[in-house]
Amino acid sequence: MRGESSRPTSRAAPGGERKILLAVDFGTTHSAVAWMQTRSTAPPGDQSIHVVDEWPDKANTQDKVPTTLQYDDQGRETPVGDPMAWGFQTEGGQQEPKYQWFKLELDPNLREALSRKYPKTTIQPKPEHLEKLITDYLRALREHAEAKIKEAFSMSNNALLRGMPWEYIITVPAVWPEAAQNTTRKCAEEAGMASHSPVQIMTEPEAAGIFALEYMSREIDPAVGDTFVICDAGGGTVDLVSYTVTSLTPTRLEESAAGSGDLCGSTFLDRRFDDWIRHEFAAFNDWDIGGYHDLALARWESELKQNFDGDPKKRFFIHVFGIPPRFNPGIRGSAFEIPYQKMKELFEPIISKILDLVNLQITETKKNGKTAKAVLLAGGFSRNEYLKKRIQQEVGNTVSVVRMNHCNTAIVRGALIQSLASKTASPRLPTIWVDSRIARKHYGTAALDVYDPARHDPTRPKVLAGVEGSERIEIMQWFLEKGAKIKESEPVSFRYYFDMSENDMNLQGGKLDLVTVTVYTCDEDPRPDYPDPGKCKQLVKLTADLNQIPKGRMRKERGTDNLWYYKIWFHIRMTCHSANISFDLLHEGIKYSSVKAEYR
């Protein structure tokens, strides 16, 4: 491969199992893929990462590919079969309707806003088609990336590739709900990304931050106690999170402000330009037919948007060959000049949203006793100098604003670095790690508690239940506080009690009922003491099978009804990873099984 890619090495270095790691930045408007070997004679570092930069129907190399799909005519409203085109294949000739931005449909909080902002050539996906679209796109991405990797190995030693397992890491926005993260994983698995190893999920700003702090030490000079705001400004979303360095040998980070984000990526700036330029030439009937609009958008994307830096002396033009000046007073010969003030006006609402997000991160870090040293910019939109200047003006001279190296591919590079760090303790390899994160909401369950008039609301409904036949009341049992530090090495567990009569068990062939537990989240403070549908949102329904616990380890007790009951105290353990949550069942400190989780 060309550009940032290079041939794989042909000899193995000492270490563990050789694997191919692939990182996928599944973006709103564009996506990226990078890969590396877990064992290689290449010097450890950024140079051992290979970015896929050759794509179907694209002559020159590009480090990203459009996140777009097209089906045949019968599949435009209902996508059926395999897509007939994806990525750059959807961009030739006339702008035919296509599926794009479908990633954002995963977050139900964004759907209403999206319906008013889709590009005119977009087919708005129906909820029931969403998983198919994501799976089809990820499959096309996977098949192309794997073909390019095999092509690279065939130039050196194809025998190395035989039998070598492949492992995928896919990145998601930090502010996505757990259900969206889970759906992304499911679609990646259905796209064939879990054929050798489970798909790993990681947040986009965390991946970008790991890359910057691992390979930009000269530019940012990190020291223990330094805090950095990571701003991933992409095409659809702008996603932020803040980290404080807690150790340098090895590098360890802790989240110092929970992630935040919004729909204010560069695509919304593109849409503002699209609407404005179309309005400017509404009187010219051949504006679309003559291809002027497509040419204007192409120039905006390739030059105007990237080059605008807030300098009022610079002039910006689009070509309008053959359009008489009477259709617009801004036409000068064969060009139409866009006034500086208009350029600034187009940028302003988008920039303002991003500044609000940056200020929120800096404010939150201060609340946690930290002071931001720098704002580190990643993502395609971060290449715009005006955005960088405005952020610098906003945060002042005491905070540096630094654009990351390889800002367009920092996410996939960081995802690979983190994945490699988790697989080896070799001093030759990156060892950066995020030790703790901040809970973005309260987590809890509804539980029956023995009614106590001194502690409970007497107006709440009560039931008779349990071995003791006592009066019970339903309460919220919160086991993780919003703002609390979460460590992967220290899972959160919550205790449960279950009882069932021996008679009922015998009627079921000696089997216990499956235990179903619903986990709720709450964004509000103070959190409610009792179930409240307006404040408590269902996150996931957990199903635990207690039959895996040996009967000899279960306690039996005679109830007030003179029947024998099995009484079981158990824990469900929740482990919070970068971008997903896993659950398992423990009884008397012994792990018996993972817990089935159904997200809502």
Which is more confident, 142 or 106?
142
CATH number reported for the structural domain that contains residue 47 in this entry: 3.30.420.40
User: Are residues 197 and 128 both part of a single domain?
Assistant: yes
Query: Residue 309 and residue 389: Cα distance in Å, rounded?
Result: 8
Lowest mean pLDDT among 120-124, 234-238, 399-403: 120-124
Secondary structure (3-state) at 204 = helix
Lowest mean pLDDT among 4-13, 120-129, 328-337: 4-13
**Percentage above 70 pLDDT, the chain:** 88
User: Are residues 236 and 324 both part of a single domain?
Assistant: yes
User: Does residue 111 form part of some domain?
Assistant: yes
User: Are residues 427 and 357 both part of a single domain?
Assistant: no
Q: How many CA atoms lie within 13 A of 408 on its CB side?
A: 16
The token duo for 272 is 């503002």
Please tell me the total count of domains within the chain.
3
Provide mean pLDDT across the span 328-356.
96
User: Does residue 344 form part of some domain?
Assistant: yes
Does residue 489 register a pLDDT over 50?
yes
How far is Cα of residue 295 from the mean position of the Cα atoms in its chain? 33
Question: Which of the listed residues 324, 350, 373 is the one where a domain comes to its end?
Answer: 373
Provide mean pLDDT across the span 38-59.
78
CA 464, 466, 472, 474: dihedral to nearest 10 degrees? -120
User: Are residues 464 and 588 both part of a single domain?
Assistant: yes
Query: Residue 411 and residue 37: Cα distance in Å, rounded?
Result: 17
Model confidence band, residue 241 (pLDDT cutoffs 50, 70, 90): very high
User: Are residues 467 and 583 both part of a single domain?
Assistant: yes
Q: Which domain holds residue 369?
A: 220-373
User: Does residue 483 form part of some domain?
Assistant: yes
User: Are residues 272 and 343 both part of a single domain?
Assistant: yes
Residue partners of 584: CB distance under 8 A and separation at least 6: 572, 573, 575, 591, 593, 594, 595
Confidence (pLDDT) at 217: 82
User: Does residue 397 form part of some domain?
Assistant: no
User: Are residues 166 and 242 both part of a single domain?
Assistant: no
pLDDT digits (tens, 9 = 90+) for 540-560: 998 888 888 888 888 898 888
Q: How many CA atoms lie within 13 A of 534 on its CB side?
A: 1
Provide mean pLDDT across the span 277-297.
93
Which is more confident, 576 or 96?
576
User: Are residues 36 and 94 both part of a single domain?
Assistant: yes
User: Are residues 274 and 229 both part of a single domain?
Assistant: yes
For the chain, how far is it from start to end, CA to CA, in angstroms?
42
User: Are residues 212 and 225 both part of a single domain?
Assistant: no
In the DSSP assignment, the letter for residue 47 is: G
Provide mean pLDDT across the span 261-290.
92
Q: Are 399 and 321 in contact (CB under 8 A)?
A: no
User: Are residues 138 and 152 both part of a single domain?
Assistant: yes
User: Are residues 447 and 429 both part of a single domain?
Assistant: no
Does the predicted TM-score (pTM) go above 0.85?
A: yes
User: Does residue 13 form part of some domain?
Assistant: no
Asked if the bond preceding 250 is cis, omega within 30° of 0, the reply is yes
User: Does residue 396 form part of some domain?
Assistant: no
Question: Which of the listed residues 395, 412, 434 is the one where a domain comes to its end?
Answer: 434
State the SS3 of 231-243.
EEECCCCEEEEEE
Please name which of 367, 353, 421, 349 lies closest in space to residue 242, comparing C-alpha atoms: 367
Q: How far is CA 133 from CA 78, 82, 102, 207, in A?
A: 10, 10, 7, 25
- Angle of helix 178-188 relative to helix 130-154, nearest 10 degrees? 50
